Amino acid sequence: MTDAPTRKCPFAAPITTGRAACRHATEVVRRGGSEYDCDHAEAHARCGELFAGLKQVGLDAFGVEDDLTQMPHSVLVKIQTGGLLGLRRLVTPDADPDAPVADVADLVTQAGEVHGGVGQIPFVSLADDMLNCKLERRGRRRGR
């Protein structure tokens, strides 16, 4: 018997920080700490397509290359978090912009329905949401 494929959640950062939740996200512990996997193949595919579009626009907006050794981690977190918050703004303009995204899978499905598919979402209109995304500052390390 083979293990089911691992589907890493492309929106793990906002889920980890409490800025989003997803009914398909399952917390797993790996060497680097807690992460999230997706328990639904179709939802994972939609989220992957969304993240690819957000990342393409976000990297251009931040003026960085897609190089994990050079790009600050905060840029990817802003692309994920700001992208989801901006997508919610497009789908539900009257939503509280400071509230966490209640269900990433539901938001991605709704956005796909509104725009005729995830690939048809106007990703460029989400660039400002990513650029203006404020991340919570981590506490300073003691003893330094």
pLDDT means per 10 residues in the chain (144 residues)? 74 95 93 86 97 97 90 94 97 94 98 97 98 78 46
Distance CA 20, CA 138 (A): 18
Q: What is the pTM of this model?
A: 0.89
Element (H, E) at 33: strand 33-38
Annotated domain spans of the chain = 12-131
